[in-house]
Chain A
Amino acid sequence: MRIALFATCIVDAMYPATARATVKILERLGHEVVFPSGQACCGQMHVNSGYLKEAVPVIANHVAAFDTEDYDVAVAPSGSCVASVKHQHPMVARSCGDKHLETRATAVGAKTYELSELLVDVLGVTDAGAQLGSYFPHRVTYHPSCHGMRLLRLGDRQARLLGSVAGIDMAELPEADQCCGFGGTFSMKNADVSSAMLEDKTANIMTTGASLCAGGDASCLMHIGGGLSRQGSDITTLHLAEILASTLEEPASVTGEVRISTGKATR
């Protein structure tokens, strides 16, 4: 299968290892990955902040990048950005009266999958350890991000994939379905409430005894990880793509500060 990768802007600029891990997983399954070079961002930040007019060129760019490329399906390592592509893009195009953009956006949205959705529903991955060689000998807890859970209805796809990684020790997160408090510009506009929500999320993570918190959205993980870091916790966050890509021979870096080539992972 020819799979187009939508890296998402935050992963492209801040967490390239997550996109590389996504490529690795797909190639390991024997698929060809293409990266439409015109892509940038889904425009969700603009839409969710009320800047619809400013969102239009961002959305039009995404649609143009993905409806000219030849591929079978598109994938992004993010529930939130995929939900934006599927739901917000046609909605914004409609509200600005661009019927042509709406039609094209709907078509792109229909071919776009969140990573776990693609792996489970389309590529038939049920056992990451056996099918991907995933190996990750750490105690891990998992935060299901709101948009994956409620807009895409991912259910337990991400959790099941993580649970099937060889060597992993999954620790259940109390109140897992509660929002971490990120919410895009909400985290700045309503910083106090956002911080209060984050405090409860990190406190719950700390009760699990996990050495890291996994998830499917880099933005939420940056938020949670940023809070843990500020609170002086040793617990880090890691995208599930990197856990799935991790193998015995080539383990994922847990802290980000240790060069894999030295073989001296701290945990």
Chain B
Amino acid sequence: MSTYLGMPSIPVYGTGNLHASESFPKAAHRELGNAQLRANLGHATHTIRDKRIAVVSELPDWEQLRDAGSAIKESVMARLPELLEQFEKTFTARGGVIHWARDATEANEIVAGLIRETGETEVVKIKSMATQEIGLNEYLEEQGIAAFETDLAELIVQLDHDKPSHILVPAIHKNRSQVRDIFLREMEGVDPDLTNEPARLAGAARAHLRRKFLTAKVAVSGANFALADSGTLAVVESEGNGRMCLTLPETLITVMGVEKLLPTWQDLEVFMQLLPRSSTGERMNPYTSLWTGVTEGDGPQNVHLVLLDNGRSAALADEKGRSALHCIRCSACMNVCPVYERTGGHAYGSTYPGPIGAILSPLMTGIQAEENNSLPYASSLCGACYDACPVKINIPDILVHLRSVDVDSKRGKKKIPTQMDVGMNAASWALSSGKRLGLLEKGLPLGRLAAGPDKKITKLPGIAAGWTQSRDIPAPPSQSFRDWWKKEHRTPEPDAAPAASQDQENQP
């Protein structure tokens, strides 16, 4: 079955698990209240952060590698249709079958149809962001097909009926005692004396998974890379459970976003240096599996690939945002993000959390989709993500760009302007002339009056109340610098010092 739908002529927005169902500030407020989550996250992100810095600093050509990764991805995006057609030819020539999916619904239907053709009702799964994005497990369940996650952390999350909160470490929000409790509660035939020792927990998971590997006839995977010149797919992993899924079953169905393509086999050398160091902080990941179509008598004999758009064309159409598609899902940005570190991944709603999620989700769904317009504001623009990104996605610039898309999308559509609109308008008027600002600064003594004898302002109304919930504002000075400068009858004496009495002004 090959459903060729082609590239849509107008951007089709992504569907599935790409949407925040509540605004980021609201979700963040709830998550911040979870002390256990913050402790787990703080510990985990700092550990990975330090490991990454250590292995990255070993490479003298790290910056050149980042440049190369960025350049390769940029060229892929520039000629994506051509590369996809080339890949379709090479993959098909080696016995694979390509399916094109416009959105989550189409992709889910294709995968379910392929599984149904095999007559199976159980599949094993390799950790995959694309299948989470489209909500495949939930869809299959509705269709009477059970999908078993085989990545340890995904297994933990699935057994707990929870959602992953990190793209590399899906169970980063759980500690080992919580994991033990989940296993005891949900895992069939588990040793009731199970402790929270990592080795014992891994042993329990291994016994559980081994039964699945040996019986499964169908596996579903994602892919980290696809090589257009050879028709090869690649999965990069740590545990080896992915390799079990890729080699043991008879049917292998891969779901992959169209942006994962690389032009040539040789390009892989750049990404195989960038990815493991950026994601797990390792020089090399333990298992890298590559497969090219069907090999008779060895491995899966039915090999399928679902090429997924689901909003990627929409992202590609945004000139200033399209480099978000360069993402190789390493998660370095979330590990260094001070916002993610405190809220965790669930606050972002979408499958893609953290800084990259804050740009990728609204790019794929359109800024107006549900609460995704709050995501670009979920950043202090500190820039740590840009520095950490192995393919140099300028996340802060794209965040700012999407904020302007959000603001512009609402212009003229609101009956009453927001406080922010009014403030920004007034500030634009006041701050676009030295004269006007100078005039307003004449009112500074009023602010001093408002601050009272404590010389600080502790409560402000409206949106500014956000500031005073945890911060005071000092009393303003009695005179602006501009005023002082004007009044000084300055003769250019190099040592001229301002009058001492003026030095009593506030310090920042």
Interface residues of A (CB under 8 A from B): 7, 9, 11-20, 24, 27-28, 30, 32, 35-41, 43, 45-55, 57-58, 60-61, 65, 91, 146-147, 150-151, 177-179, 181-199, 215, 218, 221-223, 225-227, 229-230, 236-239, 242, 250, 252-261
Q: Is residue B387 contacting chain A, with contact meaning CB distance below 8 A? A: yes
CA distance A199 to B506 in the complex (A): 23
Find out whether the CB atom of A14 lies under 8 angstroms from the CB atom of B476: yes
Please, which residue of chain A has its CB at the minimum distance from the CB of B24? A190
Residues of B within 8 A of A177 (CB): 384
Q: Mark B411-438, 1 if CB is under 8 A from A, else 0.
A: 0000000001000110111111111110
Find out whether the CB atom of B427 lies under 8 angstroms from the CB atom of A45: yes
Residues of A within 8 A of B431 (CB): 9, 40-41, 43, 58, 61
Please, which residue of chain A has its CB at the minimum distance from the CB of B419? A188
A163 to chain B, nearest CB (A): 20
17 CB-based A-B contacts, threshold 8 Å = A14-B506, A27-B494, A28-B495, A35-B485, A50-B404, A51-B404, A57-B432, A146-B382, A150-B386, A181-B338, A190-B25, A197-B342, A198-B471, A221-B508, A222-B474, A238-B507, A257-B455
Find out whether the CB atom of B25 lies under 8 angstroms from the CB atom of A46: no
Find out whether the CB atom of B498 lies under 8 angstroms from the CB atom of A54: no
Known contacts A49-B403, A188-B463, A188-B464, A229 near B472 by CB under 8 Å: yes
CA distance A99 to B494 in the complex (A): 40
Known contacts A192-B29, A193-B343, A227-B470, A58 near B495 by CB under 8 Å: no
Which 7 A-B residue pairs are closest in the complex by CB-CB distance?
A183-B380, A50-B403, A226-B471, A191-B466, A188-B466, A179-B382, A221-B508
Q: Is residue B456 contacting chain A, with contact meaning CB distance below 8 A? A: yes
Known contacts A50-B404, A183-B381, A194-B380, A32 near B482 by CB under 8 Å: no
Find out whether the CB atom of B506 lies under 8 angstroms from the CB atom of A54: no
Q: Is residue B407 contacting chain A, with contact meaning CB distance below 8 A? A: yes
Please, which residue of chain B has its CB at the minimum distance from the CB of A151? B383
Find out whether the CB atom of A13 lies under 8 angstroms from the CB atom of B444: yes
Q: Interface majority SS on B: helix, strand, loop or mixed? A: helix
Find out whether the CB atom of A48 lies under 8 angstroms from the CB atom of B381: yes
Find out whether the CB atom of B432 lies under 8 angstroms from the CB atom of A61: yes
CA distance A191 to B469 in the complex (A): 8
Residues of B within 8 A of A227 (CB): 470-471
Find out whether the CB atom of B434 lies under 8 angstroms from the CB atom of A238: no
CA distance A61 to B435 in the complex (A): 11
Find out whether the CB atom of B24 lies under 8 angstroms from the CB atom of A187: no
Q: Is residue B480 contacting chain A, with contact meaning CB distance below 8 A? A: yes
Known contacts A58-B428, A197-B338, A40 near B474 by CB under 8 Å: no
Find out whether the CB atom of B381 lies under 8 angstroms from the CB atom of A195: no
Find out whether the CB atom of B480 lies under 8 angstroms from the CB atom of A13: yes
B399 to chain A, nearest CB (A): 9
CA distance A180 to B361 in the complex (A): 26
Find out whether the CB atom of B505 lies under 8 angstroms from the CB atom of A37: no
B508 to chain A, nearest CB (A): 4
Q: Is residue B143 contacting chain A, with contact meaning CB distance below 8 A? A: no
Residues of B within 8 A of A12 (CB): 437, 441, 480-482
CA distance A27 to B488 in the complex (A): 15
Known contacts A147-B383, A183-B380, A51 near B474 by CB under 8 Å: no
Q: Is residue B473 contacting chain A, with contact meaning CB distance below 8 A? A: yes
Q: Is residue B378 contacting chain A, with contact meaning CB distance below 8 A? A: yes
Q: Is residue B484 contacting chain A, with contact meaning CB distance below 8 A? A: yes
Please, which residue of chain A has its CB at the minimum distance from the CB of B440? A13
CA distance A61 to B428 in the complex (A): 10
Known contacts A14-B476, A27-B496, A146-B382, A40 near B437 by CB under 8 Å: yes
Q: Is residue B288 contacting chain A, with contact meaning CB distance below 8 A? A: no
Residues of A within 8 A of B5 (CB): none
Find out whether the CB atom of A49 lies under 8 angstroms from the CB atom of B507: no
Find out whether the CB atom of A222 lies under 8 angstroms from the CB atom of B473: yes
CA distance A58 to B383 in the complex (A): 24
Find out whether the CB atom of A17 lies under 8 angstroms from the CB atom of B505: yes
Q: Is residue B196 contacting chain A, with contact meaning CB distance below 8 A? A: no
Interface residues of B (CB under 8 A from A): 24-25, 28-29, 32, 338-339, 342-343, 376-384, 386-387, 397, 400, 402-408, 420, 424-425, 427-437, 441, 444, 455-456, 458, 463-464, 466-467, 469-474, 476-477, 479-482, 484-486, 492, 494-498, 500-508
Please, which residue of chain B has its CB at the minimum distance from the CB of A185? B420
Please, which residue of chain B has its CB at the minimum distance from the CB of A43? B431
Residues of A within 8 A of B497 (CB): 24, 250
Residues of A within 8 A of B386 (CB): 150
CA distance A222 to B503 in the complex (A): 18
B480 contact from A16, A192, A236, A250, Cβ within 8 A: A16
Known contacts A27-B494, A197-B338, A256-B474, A189 near B456 by CB under 8 Å: no
- Highest count of chain A CB atoms <10 Å: which of B28, B397, B470: B470
Find out whether the CB atom of A181 lies under 8 angstroms from the CB atom of B380: yes
Find out whether the CB atom of B507 lies under 8 angstroms from the CB atom of A193: no
Known contacts A188-B463, A191-B466, A223-B471, A260 near B506 by CB under 8 Å: no
CA distance A134 to B441 in the complex (A): 31
Please, which residue of chain B has its CB at the minimum distance from the CB of A182? B380
Residues of A within 8 A of B425 (CB): 54
Find out whether the CB atom of A13 lies under 8 angstroms from the CB atom of B434: no
Residues of B within 8 A of A15 (CB): 477, 505-508
Residues of A within 8 A of B406 (CB): 50
Find out whether the CB atom of A46 lies under 8 angstroms from the CB atom of B424: yes
Residues of A within 8 A of B474 (CB): 14, 222, 225-226, 229, 256
Find out whether the CB atom of B471 lies under 8 angstroms from the CB atom of A50: no
Find out whether the CB atom of B469 lies under 8 angstroms from the CB atom of A183: no
A90 to chain B, nearest CB (A): 13
CA distance A259 to B500 in the complex (A): 8
B420 contact from A49, A223, A238, A261, Cβ within 8 A: A49
Known contacts A54-B427, A197-B380, A187 near B467 by CB under 8 Å: yes
B481 contact from A7, A58, A182, A197, Cβ within 8 A: A7
CA distance A129 to B500 in the complex (A): 21
Find out whether the CB atom of A38 lies under 8 angstroms from the CB atom of B433: yes
CA distance A209 to B482 in the complex (A): 36
Residues of B within 8 A of A32 (CB): 492
Please, which residue of chain B has its CB at the minimum distance from the CB of A15? B508
Find out whether the CB atom of B434 lies under 8 angstroms from the CB atom of A38: yes
CA distance A45 to B420 in the complex (A): 11
B74 to chain A, nearest CB (A): 18
CA distance A48 to B380 in the complex (A): 9
Find out whether the CB atom of A40 lies under 8 angstroms from the CB atom of B432: yes
A241 to chain B, nearest CB (A): 10
Please, which residue of chain A has its CB at the minimum distance from the CB of B30? A192
Find out whether the CB atom of B500 lies under 8 angstroms from the CB atom of A260: yes
Residues of B within 8 A of A196 (CB): 32, 342
Find out whether the CB atom of B437 lies under 8 angstroms from the CB atom of A195: no
